Amino acid sequence: MLNIILLAQSAIAISGLCLAYEKWRRKSRISLPPGPKPLPIVGNVLDLPPKGLPEARHWESHHEKYGPITSITAMGQTIVVLHDRNLAVELLDKGGAKNSSRPWLEFGWRMCGFGQFTIGQPYGDTLRLHRKLILQHIGSKQAVALTQSLLEREVGRTLVRMLEFPDNLFKNVEIQGAAIILKLTYGYDINTKIDDPLLFVVRRRLDRLGAAVMPGGWLVDAFPILRHIPAWCPGAGFKQTAIGWNREVLEAVNIPFQFVKRQLGDNSCQPSADTTYSTFTLVVAKAHEEIDRVIGPNRLPTFADQDQLPYIDGIIKEAYRWQSVVPQGLAHSSDEDQVFQGYFIPKGAAVIANTFAYTRDTRVYHDPEAFLPERYMAPYNELDPKEYVFGLGRVEIDPILEVQPGIVAHPKEYPYRLTPRSEAHALLIRSNLPAGVKDGQDHLLLKKYDLNPDR
């Protein structure tokens, strides 16, 4: 009997060894997607996006040289970049069960504290709970309808600010987006006349996030044990950086949360409402004609007019495509070894969707570098970029728009001149703002509650 047991155990062990060998042999036959030749030990660390260059633009050079799916391996971290939208859909959408997590980033997720946010959650129960709570707040048609008055109000306030401060276009657009997000999430009204403290917190958190979560960007991500070395050791400057950024992340979590909590305690909490606004100010003769014809001279457009403004809708879609707000987004993580398009993708590889490449695909968009709002109307009927930019006639732009690096694209400032079409239009903008709408005073409550951030 003992011999039979030993024989069975030996057979199982031999079978396991054979399976392991076959898996190793299969891996050795199948290569990673193409990419630049790595250096010994450090791999492709020199092929990571250089400082100051938008990441998506860097990956586009790999696309041109190596094809629609490329890879590098830096400090032990494999990074696979998908430059073709159909490949991204196949791997990240249809194959989402294997690629729904985020790569573990010791520096960004753990040491800086970004892992507590939804974007840093691995696929599992916590992420599903986060999504459920978000959808309860903004996912229904009723919830979206309730937010339209907020959006129209904030657009109205922005137009007035542009009349009053025509040299502050970029700041005005930034304030509008932040005002909507903070009102949506926390019921917080920002003050546009000052450097509002909560606007400062949001801006700083986004800047830190972009720097902290770049795959391959921090040595400690490849060697997590480095987080235990003393801060005084040579090369340990990342620890002090992480300590400072973690403190700022805690402020970004606690200050708005405590604001809402204190407001509820005072029975003065204001309702919050929905979504972000990011588009370009593009003055086009065709847009003028359509607005004048549909809206007339006596009011501003509202959401009720949307279906009657196809060219304006095309401008918005083209703004999404021509300079995607999220040109590559956060990396996904391969949850298991897999073979895709004949290439080996190891477990733990970071998988990046290069959205910028999809927006320039000549098989989908004719003359992709041109800004053409009519491309979404007959006879072209080209792909609506909203299908991929958030997850998965002709306007001359002079000078060419330069974009700053980061998760969310921000244009660098360029010379411009901003004026109303006429005094009548300026009067319409000012008169359209609802009576009683003033700059928010919630920054005074932050001071009252002793919640001002460190600067």
Report cis status (omega within 30 of 0) of the bond before 197: no
Q: Which residues, in sequence order, are CB contacts of 116 under 8 Å at separation 6+?
A: 249, 253
pLDDT tens, 385-431? 988 887 662 333 333 344 454 555 656 676 777 888 888 888 888 88
Least confident of 157-171, 202-216, 344-358, 430-444: 430-444
pLDDT tens, 217-274? 788 888 889 889 888 888 889 999 999 999 998 888 888 888 888 877 765 555 543 3
CA angle 42, 69, 403 (to 5 degrees): 80
Q: Two tokens at 328? A: 């590559």
Tell which wins on pLDDT, 90 or 15.
90
- According to the model, what pLDDT value does residue 401 have? 40
| pLDDT of 384 higher than 90 | yes
Average pLDDT on 342-351 reads 92
Nearest CA-CA partner of 302 in 148, 142, 140:
148
| pLDDT of 100 higher than 60 | yes
pTM of the model: 0.67
- According to the model, what pLDDT value does residue 400 have? 38
Average pLDDT on 126-143 reads 75
* Tokens 């490849």, located at residue: 222
| pLDDT of 83 higher than 90 | yes
**Average model confidence (pLDDT) across the chain:** 79
| pLDDT of 151 higher than 80 | yes
Provide, rounded to the nearest whole percent, the portion of the chain with pLDDT above 70: 80
C-alpha dihedral, 179 to 431 to 306 to 318, nearest 10°: -60
pLDDT tens, 23-77? 554 455 689 999 999 998 888 989 988 877 778 889 999 999 999 999 999 877 8
- Strand arrangement, sheet containing 77-82: 69-74, 77-82, 350-353, 332-333
